[in-house]
Structure 1
């Protein structure tokens, strides 16, 4: 829910229930000035409109549209809009498990990252986090973001080689997803079962099958949902039976895959049965 704090301020904050992310924060501000303060988490910030000026470790920086800003934990910083039009920002507060304290120094030196791919991935992750229920997708996208941030901070971004392709590992993950697609599982649980790094799992699965693990899982759930709908089960019950968070979550994915709502799909089957002549 978006909270209006007056004509110049609007915020939305929530805990997404995704390992590695302690808070999601969206805000539009025009006149607010952030005093010097610290966080005990990493602050991953993108600007959608306007510009933010801030001081970090006695150096002035700017957060701009199309760039990524990464502020380290325990380092004081402030912030304010550069123009009277203010700014719109989206923030992820990341746990230290994703980026360890050894990377604080490089982040202080270079908090602004000019990386369109990274920004696009962060934008996509915010889109997933806006709706509950897509935990595996959020974790998969976060794993790739974390890898790219670590590469920036350690200077390895241009040195990374493509990981070795492991078709066997991809197929073992496929089997696990098939076994658990209704109740679901987290990326870390799959990682523990297969003794493989979460990011590596996402990469080898996507390379082998052409879709991410979360896309495969959602496809299996939608496929089950369409069968249950044609059997006459109400959509609200199908949502739960097929492993979706709620009916809204089910409807959103169903329409994205099939181009029709669950109700429209179910009614089309009933119409077809009524129109078919008896044999």
Structure 2
């Protein structure tokens, strides 16, 4: 991937929300390298063909279809036709989904693409007003509707083994409070009152990723906040808990498919 895609490409971020991230983007050819979010990525293709590799297969999303990419599943993005592709996407953390599901299995959509009109309507309820802040009550209602519909569409199975949601939640809260600190699995097991390997399984079951990956992503959240506040990449990396800028940049690229400098330019409305 070239670091600077076509000058025709653009990304527009919706006004910030404390719960979700929303964006609209257009790419004329190559969009982003293979990467993994620790969030759900749910969106709609608006024009063109959005092509991507997901769970070992090539997928093509057409206008009107809904994408639901599961947390921690690798994917890329590129145009499937000469006209490029435009899409809207929202990112929801498994922690927020669990607040609604209260310990039920995370919904998983086979193939990552749906033509179900119920899911389309629930997604549009959040993505229709990209230029405006969402009213807090409207946002909560829309999120409840989206997660409920997603659970119905995905027909979530009953788990074969029981996991400890309380232990997983305590471990997550501990990491949220100590993002910049060095944390071991033994630390998490002690705070969760659970043996370390059972806790690892609990965490993956309820939050869709490993404890280490979760902590890394929270540190990247801090990096983005620091960059937005004007901090340089080196200082942002160290302040967020990474060893150095190189360490942070490697994880940033794996998480978002672009470098932190390119991400920063997109937020400022500058050319990629």
* TM-score normalized with structure 2 length: 0.49
Higher RCO, 1 vs 2 (CA within 8 Å, ≥6 residues apart): 2
Specify the structure having the higher radius of gyration (Cα).
Answer: 1
